[in-house]
Structure 1
Amino acid sequence: MSEPVRSTPGSLPLSRLAEPLLRRLSELLDRAAPGKGWRDLAQRAGSRGRVRLSPLDLEQCSLKVLEPEGSPSWSLLKLLGDRGCTVVELVEFLQALEHTEALQCLSHSGIKIVVQPDSQAVLSGQVVKLCCWATGHPFVHYQWFKQEKEVPHGNSPELVLNPVNVNDSGFYICRVNSESSFVFSRWARLEVCDLQGTSHGSLIGLPENKLRICIQPQPQNLTVGDALVLECGAVGNPIPHYQWFRNGFPLANGSKNVYMVTYADVEHQGTYWCHVFNDREDQDSKKIEVIIDLQEQSNHRPVGLLYYAGHGYENYGNSFMVPIDAPNPYRSANCLCVQNILKLMQEKETGLNVFLLDMCRKRNEYDDTILILDALKVTANIVFGYATCQGAEAFEIQQSGLANGIFMKFLKDRLLEDKKITVLLDEVAEDMGKCHLTKGKQALEIRSSLSEKRALTDPIQQTASSAESLARNLQWAKAHELPESMYLEFKCGVQIQLGFAAEFSNVMIIYTRIVKKPPEIVVCRAYVTDFALDLDVDPKEANKGTPEETGSYLVSKDLPKHCLYTRLSSLQKLREHLIFTVCLHYEYPGIEDTMDERKEVNVGKPLIAKLGLHHGFKNNNCVQTCCMANNPFHNQIESSPVAAKYYVPSHCQPNSCPGTYHPNRICSDSIRQPETCSCNGTSRVLPSRHEVLNYSPPVEKSNVPVETTDDTVELEFLLSDNLRFSEQQ
């Protein structure tokens, strides 16, 4: 008999697993749901060239059901073990099958971590030691990770960084292995404060782990429109937390070591300081003054940007946007003229004017009025992007209850590219030209007098604040206030995070994430339901595994992963507080019945619902009520990236992201042409903008807040799955 080989967990043969564990795995595979059973495992394993399984092998496994206590899964696992399959390979197969119970069975062990690594903030040049000590039978192995990458030579209980530098900052975790089992330590956050060119003699000789501020905020003299950036740095263990104050009041977004306002206005003037604290100590930074000069820098020029999606027409060279409550038939007196908006922009001496018009340009046969407009100024830097050519229709795609113009479908894919506007629109035109659905029917037309290299990503500027703009900014801020993220505890011991993100001022994403689950619960899922009838929520499109499945694309990259997502639209219709139910479904091993718990949640009036716009809805002349350029809200709007830039808030969030416009539309009984769009292989209905009756000119903000968090709980959830099955070198 050959001598047993002491293997690392990465190369441990499957045949070395204890028999009780193999029996448990066999039971799970025998009674698994379709797609997760032993045949699916065999198919996965057989795709590996080294582990070949013949039809005869599978037939012999299948015949085990005829034996009194026979198990096809037991036979398969034995067969895989004999063919040299390792534990890590089995884990990979089960991970591909998304067999959670079997994976948890493999990860269960008697390993116990007795010393967890601590989060800490240190100075560059110091010696840092992260510790993780564990017990287990017969012995344990260690592997340290920084984020998702293995730390070279990080195979000891103590990870020593000597000397530490700013590049070592990040999140660390240790994986402990024993035989076929493994556990992870908690995440440890390491912040390295670099004091380049400054003396930190006052910090020398301090007791180890003592809380001390090493970077003090500096006074600021700014001009309206400048960025305000204040920094405070501290060292200590436990890791320091921060809270910024202005004039004695805590700042809502001031919980990080850097406080930033992308566009400083007079309201940001005042006395600032930072309160630094941990579980043991606290300390205040020095107080500094921030002064905001009302005179803008001479090179700051405001920008006019308008995006419109909906019904329109063009007569005698003038383009008209048709309100939702215009009479039928409508004429120019009932509509808003694009050229008049350009004139208003020019009166503000805008340095750049961009019009993105996703509407039809056919002639209105009911309107023979020839408008005599005041002459426009001869100015450069005017760009028109028409969704279609003169005299033609613009089409839209409808899918999953959402509607997008063909123009916007391709524009939003390039919206954030840092390119000259005309170059970007040229590329959008090329993209549209590849869509077989609209070939010969719709083509983008670009008109430009651009004399500078200007992009949609250029910093936004506005003139000194007036009473009107301050009031508008206040309304904008109220219309973009999100509910705070919350944690819900259930009786079974499960804890979930309920988070929120804003796609537009009237469209909110709700996501649920399991952050704590007792080990005796094998499966749990939290979803939201019971929404007010006022809201547009399709139950079939709710509680999806990705934001894209709900119809949300713009903020998906900023949302945490591994959640269930629900998209709520038409928040402007919400009359009362937003109240809904969070349902938790969970299962215990060996029990077929699913357990349920429910909690009712009240998040108040989020986003635009806070303004109570429904109280003022009237069907008056639209030119006077909903289409005026200085009226930032409308009963049918979803924010656009353009109108938003027309009214820029004085306190945009630094981590906000631009939105786009998906109007809610009700189509007429006109005949539509169902066709198949080759853009992404899905069958859709293609109505013309000419048929659409419900649309709205958006005049809102683009920079919308996305509620995110960078705490260690979230990072542990996001990164652990990637680390869990990585092989120890």
Structure 2
Amino acid sequence: MADWSLGLETLSEVALNRLAEMLDNSNCGWRKLAAAVKEQPQFCYSEKEMTSCSLQVLSARGSPGRYLLALLADRRCSLAFLLQCLKKIEHHGAVSFLTACVGPIEITTQPQDVQVPKGSVVTLSCRAAGPPGLSYQWFRRGDEVPGGNVSDLILNPAQEGAYICRVNAGEKYVFSGWAHVRLLHSANSGSDVSFPSSVSGLCITQQPRAQVLSEGDTLHLECSAQANPPPQFQWYHNQQPLLKAVRSFIKIPCVTTADRGVYSCRVYNLYHEIWSDNVPVEIGPGSCADAYWETDDGHKASSLPRQMGDLYATDKVALLMGNMNYVHHRELRAPMADVYELSNLLRQLDFKVVSLLDLNRHEMHRAVSEFLLLLGRGVYGLLYYAGHGYENYGNSFMVPIDAPASYTSDHCLWVQDVLQRMQERQTGLNVFLLDMCRKRNLNDDIIQQPGPLKVTANIVFGYATCVDAEAFEVNKDDLSNGIFMSFLKKRLMEQEKVTVMLDRVAEDMGRCELTRGRQALELRSNLSERRTLTDRIQAPECPVMASTRNLQWSIAHALPESRMLQFDCGVKVQLGFAAEFSNIMIIYTRILETPTDISTCSAQLSDFTEGPEIDLKRTNQASLRDAGSLLLVMDDRLPPEQPRLFTRLCALQRLKSELSFTVCLHYQYVNLDDEVQERRTVTVGKPLVSKLNLHEPQRLHASSASSSSDLQSASMLSFAQDLQASLPSLDASTSFTESTESYFYPHAGFSSASAQKRINEPEENISPEFLTSEEPRASKSFTHTSADKPFKFSSFHSF
């Protein structure tokens, strides 16, 4: 099939010259094409380059169209984008020519040899795939068959001879194989080929049915026939005979993608031969259709029905990682807001979201391993990363916060390795959204060699920027978005194929003055089905795997129960807990009851267990903002006279033992100046992601899908008893409201010790369209940002 993702340079010189001839005209020519390609910033040509195009007419062999095509090829214009632009300017001749050049004609169904009695009706079939507008021509020996301009040639009555079909697409054509039609005669006809008059004709009573299955299912095809003498059978897969498939049915247990294709059955006896219908069998993760088959016990087993295009996921899981506070590199601001906002949107699409901030190398590897345990056959897996990164030789690397100044691939997380491990889980869709720079890392000269990837059509890569380019943030107060997320959040909820949705994000970025020429989204995909992030979830037939996956996710998101502390003085204090991210938790204290003889009272937290990161200057603060949370907002339904204090715990993945802390109650009695203290130690177990023990050495995972599934079940079930004791529900009075808004700032760049930061660069005001853009209903507003405050695009840095 045609690969439209290839570059323009892959066309032959003859094809380029012919295309240039079509563009060398004043009505619908190269000037219109040059204007159309400007929708992508890298194809915005200068006036000098356009003048050079025009001057080509002064040369005897000069061609403005050929010169423009050379400019497009130099800037890596894809064949798909060129075709899109030619359609936009309505150059139908060039569109037809390019389509014919790129799209080869491929015969998918060959006509078959037949032997039939004299006077029978024969249908010869030929099917082809390729450019639109295919036409068919049938020939008998060297002569064209009258009326043979159809894919199914009906011979009534059949005429003996050799037949062949030519499939045409413009100036291109391809021939099918020869099909021989032979006529059988009765014993008294004088023919060399004869059969007794008592012989009955061969008749197929049940044709095999087309099926759409998932990997691991059982394929069962049946072809029933009647004849005298009794018929014999031979099954074919993609026109190749299947060894020992000589019964009226075939049964293939645990099919894989290698079993997809076209199946047919040759039914014959001593005198006759006939072929069944050619039936397609699709094998893919998570798909289902109206196909059914007979089980060994005679009962019909049905797959879940669906309409064409109504695909589903057996589950949806997302791992979101944002690295901000680097030890040896420039700190970032966007990942926190980006991860938080994307989490809110994905939850509305029924994703099980794991959101993590500021991970070191070991923690990133462990997080991915735990993420893989949540995947399974037909599951949609989405991995988002915001932070420093780089790309060498087509391999992308995510940089952890503890990477040294001159890091290499050994210090980072390799994206292609994660993809290979995801495919082993037989996922239905793999989406990678990488919001990071893709500059070369000159410190790293290692060329990684990824292992062989499975042949699947379910991978989508959305890069925030192009190869060898940087990704940026936009400054606005304390909150920031990356450029990529600023546009992605407006499109993510659309019920469109993932690639279509990302294409629209790319178009939005291309129309914005702020991003044009600086950052352009790059999309890579082999997605062959119309899968969307909004697809419904249909639980798999095995309820154990669904429940264990829910259990594993719940383990990493279990919050401590809200609890009441009764102090000896009569003061009652409530402790509440809320998750900001999967590894960041908010604890608040609230005074519920105070005796009348106590004038002032406050409850403060101290003496926390080692492991989590706690800024002591920001503990026990009167507001979430003062505690360091710029995202959550307290659901304010309580009287202001009930004081409350907030403490934010980060990096919970580094908690090695149960979390404990001291609640210190400070109070004063009426008419007494001395302050009295009471202390109470509280242990709340291992909240959120700390229960997964990401600090421990990497656990071994089986490489095969089956053994990996066994390990997944065992790992999940081992947590069952712990979960029953640790899954609370937040009290109504402890709820938090998650929120988001339009806001922007400077973003993830590639860091290197050898590169220098540019200085004295002018700041640019953001495009007005950002100030007037409407946020989707799926997003709310940050309470700590003001849309009318000025914010600027940060200086560009090359790290």
Q: TM-score range with shorter-chain normalisation? A: 0.3 to 0.5
Q: TM-score, normalised by structure 1?
A: 0.39
Answer 1 or 2: higher relative contact order, Cα 8 Å, separation at least 6: 1
